[in-house]
Amino acid sequence: MFMIMTAQEIRRAYLEFLSDKQHKIIPRAQLVPKDDPTTLFTGSGMQPLLPYLLGQDHPNGSRLVDSQTCLRAQDIEEVGDNRHTTFFEMLGNWSLGDYFKQEQINWLWQFLTEVIGLDPKRIYVSCYSGSETEGIDKDKESAEIWSSIFSAAGIEAKQVEIGSCENGSKIGEQGGRIFFYEDKNWWSRSGSAKTMPDGEPGGPDTELFYLFPSVKHTSDYGEKCHVNCDCGRYIELGNCVFMEYLKQSRGFVKLPRRNVDYGGGLERIAAAAIDDPDVYSISLMRPIIDVIERLSNKSYATHTTAMRVITDHARAATFLAVDGVVPSNKEQGYVMRRLIRRAIRFAFELGIEQNFIEEVTNSVISIYKEDYPEVAEKHDQIIETLIKEEKIFRQTLRKGLKQIDRLGRSGTLSGQDIFTLYDTFGFPLELSVEEAFSRGLELHDDWRDEFNQSMAEQRERSHTASKGAFKGGLGGSGLIHKKYHTATHLLYKALRETLGDGVIQHGSNITEERLRFDFSYPKKLSPEQIKKIEDIVNMQISNDLKVSWAEYTTDKAINELGALGAFGDRYGDSVKVYSMTEEGANKPYSLEVCGGPHVDRTSELAEGGKRFKIIKEESSSSGIRRIRAVLV
């Protein structure tokens, strides 16, 4: 029998297990990355090690291990289910040109089954299927290593080709144990092999999943379940990336050394250890829930979502305070403010009206102070920072919520309303948007523009030149409009490639904050289709298409050249046709009747490390879908 380990014990055991295998334990990097302006937060264990993965020598040698605190602010709205959190710890080990697949896979198996005591029969894995277009082979080696591990454990391990998640939902597990996927089993900081920008390292990976048979798959997540399904029956516990490639404009080249980059979510491993699919049940979380139950006099069983949100956000805000961030209206400070205010808002819903931050934060601190001495050292500073923010927000929270009820009587909220809530009541705008949705209110289509306009007028009035909360700002609107305009053409083309020629444009609208595109299509798009569309657009952005235009007779443009025109548009005798063409290609990728203006080359859309992302897909009217997308 195994002793069931707490999360703290698992963290220590992992560091010890690998330090016995000659790994040097390195301290966690701060949540705010040093010398990396491309990202606000440390979101994975490998991020601070990038220069070493690219070939530089690490002062501690070629075998490293750590537990890295991570923050993924983009997951904020996913928080509330049983496994998503914005803050988590990633257990990581690295080989910088030292050991490779054989050692890594065997050690991971040993650690999880022999040290932690997970049930081998509930472990499933995935490997890279290979890609002809990228010229990268199937990762048979990893699959063979897994095969012999399973066979030694007396477990039958059938190999099944899945390919994409879309196909996975169609064909299901088929009694397999080792599954091959393409994009899902390639790791780089910027996604699949196809969409990686030049200069980015990456490689095939093998992922390990734990089956929770108590979780039932439902068709909301796709027809059939498979290891990468989002229903929560399989939870990914770890990812071994065999980072040996560097993307270059002409394709992949080998890195100077072949590396291993392993990362596993501590919270999820700890949940597997106690055989509970709810990560909030583990020893790093449950004590916080207990405090919230006591303060609210309500139970976690009936107020699950609110208590999860508060727990997650309190942990994130505490570590941000440890790492020196203070709430503000920009960058990391804005995310922190949003997290704290959102937690307070949920606490309010639970009826916790007295100051609660101090008690909740104290419980977070007591959980971490032994393993992270900086948390104990900064105790007073953390509490002070968070209490201050709570005081400011509490003064206006109740009034602000009343104000939303008042403003929403008409059934809609405008950007001016959201600005008033922001400016007078301290509501981060995302919070107002959430409140509006939960009350069933509609937002003005152009609420962001209206919001920015109100902000500009306010600035004008107060003559402050302080920076706003939102990237893009008010300057440079000409250029950003052009970029979104060009992105719209790429999107239209990508939609037709993915969904077929039945897709016809029905409208488009561009602001400084986003593009909006309406088109004919009968069904809601699946997450896989959305991902594919994004990938295509990002690929065409990195292909650096040249944008140019020429004038043709309308007949020639549409009927001979096959240029796309917006449905319902009326054209004169001659039209301007924009083309976007890859270097050396004999025909344009996109050809569209359009007045312009556009950028000169699609790569301009990626300036500042930006990527094309679909943030919303919804029905606009019968048979017409509406997409909103941004460059972020």
Each residue 129-168 as x (binds ligand SER by CB under 6 A) or -, in order, gives: ----------------------------------------
Question: Between 92 and 426, whose beta carbon lies closer to ligand SER?
Answer: 92
Question: Between 225 and 241, whose beta carbon lies closer to ligand SER?
Answer: 241
Question: Between 42 and 318, whose beta carbon lies closer to ligand SER?
Answer: 42
Residue of 40, 76, 178, 241 interacting with ligand SER (CB under 6 A):
241
Under 8 Å CB-to-CB from 499, ≥6 apart: which residues?
521, 525, 529
Minimum distance from residue 207 beta carbon to ligand SER (Å): 8
Instruction: Classify 443 as helix, strand or coil.
Output: strand
Lateral strand order in the sheet of 590-593: 546-553, 574-581, 590-593
Question: Between 108 and 397, whose beta carbon lies closer to ligand SER?
Answer: 108
Under 8 Å between Cβ of 519 and 504: yes
Our finding on whether 202 is near ligand SER (CB under 6 A) is no
Q: What share of the chain is helix, strand, coil (3-state, %, to 5)?
A: 45, 20, 35
Our finding on whether 261 is near ligand SER (CB under 6 A) is yes
The stretch among 1-9, 43-51, 334-342, 438-446 that binds ligand SER (CB under 6 A) is: 43-51
Size of the site for ligand SER (CB under 6 A): 10
Under 8 Å between Cβ of 578 and 505: no
Question: Between 195 and 581, whose beta carbon lies closer to ligand SER?
Answer: 195
What does DSSP assign to residue 198? T
Minimum distance from residue 237 beta carbon to ligand SER (Å): 11
Residue of 203, 263, 426, 565 interacting with ligand SER (CB under 6 A):
263
Under 8 Å between Cβ of 7 and 266: yes
The stretch among 38-46, 129-137, 224-232, 450-458 that binds ligand SER (CB under 6 A) is: 38-46
Under 8 Å between Cβ of 94 and 103: no
Question: Between 4 and 25, whose beta carbon lies closer to ligand SER?
Answer: 25
Question: Between 180 and 187, whose beta carbon lies closer to ligand SER?
Answer: 187
Our finding on whether 352 is near ligand SER (CB under 6 A) is no
Lateral strand order in the sheet of 505-510: 505-510, 515-520, 624-631, 612-621
* Strand pairing category for 515-520 and 624-631: antiparallel
* Strand pairing category for 24-25 and 590-593: unpaired
Our finding on whether 183 is near ligand SER (CB under 6 A) is no
The stretch among 223-231, 261-269, 451-459, 492-500 that binds ligand SER (CB under 6 A) is: 261-269
As given in the structure block, the two tokens for residue 53 are 């993965």
Minimum distance from residue 543 beta carbon to ligand SER (Å): 26
Minimum distance from residue 528 beta carbon to ligand SER (Å): 20
Degrees, nearest 5: CA angle 75-81-84? 35
As given in the structure block, the two tokens for residue 399 are 């009034």
Our finding on whether 44 is near ligand SER (CB under 6 A) is yes
Minimum distance from residue 53 beta carbon to ligand SER (Å): 9
Assign residue 243 a region (left: φ > 0; alpha: ψ between -120 and 50; beta: otherwise).
Answer: beta
What does DSSP assign to residue 569? -
Question: Between 65 and 490, whose beta carbon lies closer to ligand SER?
Answer: 65
In DSSP terms, 206 is beta-bridged to 240
Minimum distance from residue 259 beta carbon to ligand SER (Å): 11
Rounded to whole angstroms, the Cα distance separating 576 from 554 reads 9
Closest among 200, 201, 202, 211 to 128, alpha carbons compared: 202
The stretch among 39-47, 145-153, 429-437, 451-459 that binds ligand SER (CB under 6 A) is: 39-47
Under 8 Å between Cβ of 17 and 25: no
Residue of 26, 40, 46, 53 interacting with ligand SER (CB under 6 A):
46
Question: Between 46 and 487, whose beta carbon lies closer to ligand SER?
Answer: 46
Minimum distance from residue 46 beta carbon to ligand SER (Å): 4
Residue of 41, 45, 149, 271 interacting with ligand SER (CB under 6 A):
45
Rounded to whole angstroms, the Cα distance separating 143 from 161 reads 12
Residue of 10, 88, 92, 245 interacting with ligand SER (CB under 6 A):
92
Question: Between 45 and 327, whose beta carbon lies closer to ligand SER?
Answer: 45
As given in the structure block, the two tokens for residue 287 are 């004590």
Residue of 180, 187, 422, 425 interacting with ligand SER (CB under 6 A):
187
The stretch among 30-38, 42-50, 295-303, 445-453 that binds ligand SER (CB under 6 A) is: 42-50
Minimum distance from residue 584 beta carbon to ligand SER (Å): 34
Question: Between 184 and 485, whose beta carbon lies closer to ligand SER?
Answer: 184
Long-range contacts of range 18-23, CB-CB < 8 Å, 24 or more positions apart?
A: 18/63, 18/65, 18/93, 18/107, 19/65, 21/63, 21/103, 21/107, 22/63, 23/63, 23/64, 23/65, 23/93
Rounded to whole angstroms, the Cα distance separating 62 from 213 reads 39
Our finding on whether 204 is near ligand SER (CB under 6 A) is no
Our finding on whether 239 is near ligand SER (CB under 6 A) is yes
Q: What residues line the site for ligand SER (CB under 6 A)?
A: 44-46, 92, 187, 239, 241, 261-263
